[in-house]
Amino acid sequence: MSNSTNRVVITGLGIYSTIGKNLSDVKDSLFNGKSGIVLDAERKLWGFQSGLTGKIDRPQLKGLLDRRARVSMPEQAEYAYMATVQALQHAKMDPEFLDKNEVGVIYGNDSSTVPVINSIDIIREKKDTLLVGSGAVFQAMNSSVTMNLSVIFKLKGVNFTLSGACASGSHSIGMGYFLIKHGYQKSIVCGGAQEVNLFCVGSFDGLGAFAKRENEPTKASRPFDKTRDGLVPSGGAATVILESYESAVKRGAPILAELIGYGFSSDGKHISVPDVDGPVRAIRMSLDVAGVSPENIDYINAHATSTPLGDQNEAKAIDQVFGNYRPLVSSTKSMTGHEMWMAGASEIIYSIIMMQNSFVAPNINFTEPDEVTEKLNIASKTTSKNIDIFLSNSFGFGGTNSSLIVKKIK
C-alpha cells in the first residue's frame, strides 16, 4: 500500500424501485415527476395509522436462479439481485471477470422482518425447529443481502452488510469509497436494499410518523412543504459499482461519474429527532474530503423525508453551510417515498441520471414553504440544469449522518 490515494469512479448502476425497474424507466419517472406511492388497504385492516406505501412487485426468479439461491433469499435480497444483475452488466463485469478478480460487496440493509416472523410462527405451532426449512436462517439475518449476492455472483473481495438505519445505503458507498481510495480493493459492489411489507414498518407506523393523506396517495410525500405531515415508507434496491479509476481505464470500463467526497457524523443527541449540527458536520466533511467549496455544488439531493421537524433541521443545516449560494435542492422522496435502507444508494443513482441528462428532478408536492424551508432554493418543477457536482444527504435514526459528493466525468 503506498501513501498516495486512488481516484474512485462509478462504473455500473442498477435500480429496482417504485419508480422504475431500470435506468431508462426511472429517468422518465424523475423527469415527469411520477410518484410510486399507493394506498394499501390491507394495512388499515391491521390497524395501521397510515396505509400509504411505495408499490413494488416481487421479481419472478424461478428460471433465473437455482433453488438453493431462491430459498436463501428474503424479499430485499431479490430486489438487490435484480439491481446487481443490471449494474454488473452495465459495468461489463462478466462471470469470468468476477472469477479472476477480487470484487467486494458492501450493501446497506437494516432489517429482515418477514423471515423471522415466519420461522417463529412455525416453531410456535409445530414445536419443531427443523420445520422452518433450510433457507430460514439465511433469510433472517441482516447480512442476508451480502451473503446471497456474494454467493450468487461468486464475489471474492470484501463482504459485509452495513446497517446505519436510513443512511445505510449512503454509508455503504462511503465505506466502499474509502477502501478503494486507500488501495484495499479495486472494485466493490455497493448499494442498499429495503423490504416493502407491512410487518417491517408496523412499529414505525405506531410512532405516528407516517403521512396520512390517504385520499391522495401521490400527494402525501411532500418534503419541505408547509403541509407535510410525515413520511411514506417505501423500498426496493439500488446497486452502485465503485472502482478505482486506474482499474476502470485499464479494462475499458464505462466511467459514469467520479465519487470525490464522503462525510459522516453522529448527532450524539436523540434517537429519533434529527439534529442540525450533526448534518452540518457531515456535509462539511464531505466538502473537505472532496476538496470543493459550497459554491461548487450545483445540486443537493436532500434526505428530506416529509417529516415536519426532519425537513426543517436539514433546511437549517443546508442554509448554514451554503448560505447565499443557494444551490438547487430537491428531495426525490417526494416521488419514491422513504426508501430507508435503500435510499442513500438509490438517490446517488437518481442524481447521476439527472447529471447525465442535465435536469434536476422536481421536489413534487412542494406548493408552499414554511418559515425555515423558504431559505432553500427548491426545484418544485423539473428544471434544466447542467450539474457538474452534486451532494447527496442521508440521515438516520440514532443520529447517523452521511453525505456523498459526486462529480461529472467529462
Partner 1 sequence: MTKEEIVKIINDFLVDEFEMNESQLVPEALLKEDLSIESLDFVDIAVVIEKKFGFKVKGEDMMNVRTLGDLHDYIYNYLNTNK
The answer to whether 166 is a known catalytic residue is: yes
Q: Which is nearer to partner 1, 130 or 271 (CB)?
A: 130
* Binding status of residue 133 toward partner 1 by CB under 8 A: yes
CB 401 within 8 A of CB 282: yes
Asked whether position 67 contacts partner 1 by CB under 8 A, the answer is yes
Task: For residue 10, give the amino acid letter.
Answer: I
Quickly tell me which residue has 456523498 as its cell.
404
Specify whether the CB–CB gap between 406 and 390 falls below 8 A. yes
- Which residue among 32, 42, 57, 68 contacts partner 1 (CB under 8 A)? 68
Min dist. Cβ of residue 130 to partner 1 (A):
6
Confirm or reject binding of residue 126 to partner 1 (CB under 8 A): yes
How many residues interact with partner 1 (rule CB under 8 A)?
12
d(CA 240, CA 355): 15
Which residue, chain included where needed, has cell 424523475? 30
359-360/299-301 β-pairing:
unpaired
CB 334 within 8 A of CB 223: yes
CB nearer to partner 1: pick between 148 and 346 = 148
Q: Are the C-beta atoms of residues 330 and 365 closer than 8 Å to each other? A: no
64 is a site residue for partner 1 (CB under 8 A):
no
Q: Which of the residues 90, 166, 190, 200 is marked catalytic?
A: 166
120 is a contact residue toward partner 1 (CB under 8 A)? no
Q: Any idea what DSSP says for residue 20? A: B
Q: By CB neighbour count within 10 A (0-12 exposed, 13-18 middle, 19+ buried), where does 388 fall?
A: middle
Residue type, 358: S
Binder of partner 1 out of 24, 32, 89, 134 (CB under 8 A): 134
Q: Which of residues 135-194 bind partner 1 (CB under 8 A)?
A: 135
The amino acid at residue 25 is D
The smaller minimum CB distance to partner 1, of residues 100 and 124, is found at 124
Tell me, yes or no, if 90 is annotated catalytic.
no
Closer Cβ to partner 1, 73 or 173, answer by number: 73
Of positions 71, 116, 123, 255, contacts partner 1 by CB under 8 A: 71
- 66 contacts partner 1 (rule: CB under 8 A): yes
Number of C-beta neighbours around residue 346 at 10 A:
35
Q: Which residues contact 323 (CB under 8 A, 6 or more apart)?
A: 294
Contact region with partner 1 (CB under 8 A), list: 131-139, 212-220, 273-281, 358-366: 131-139
- Residue 367, interface with partner 1 (CB under 8 A)? no
- Catalytic annotation, residues: 166, 303, 338
User: Which chain residues interact with partner 1 by CB under 8 A?
Assistant: 62, 66-68, 71, 126, 128, 130-131, 133-135
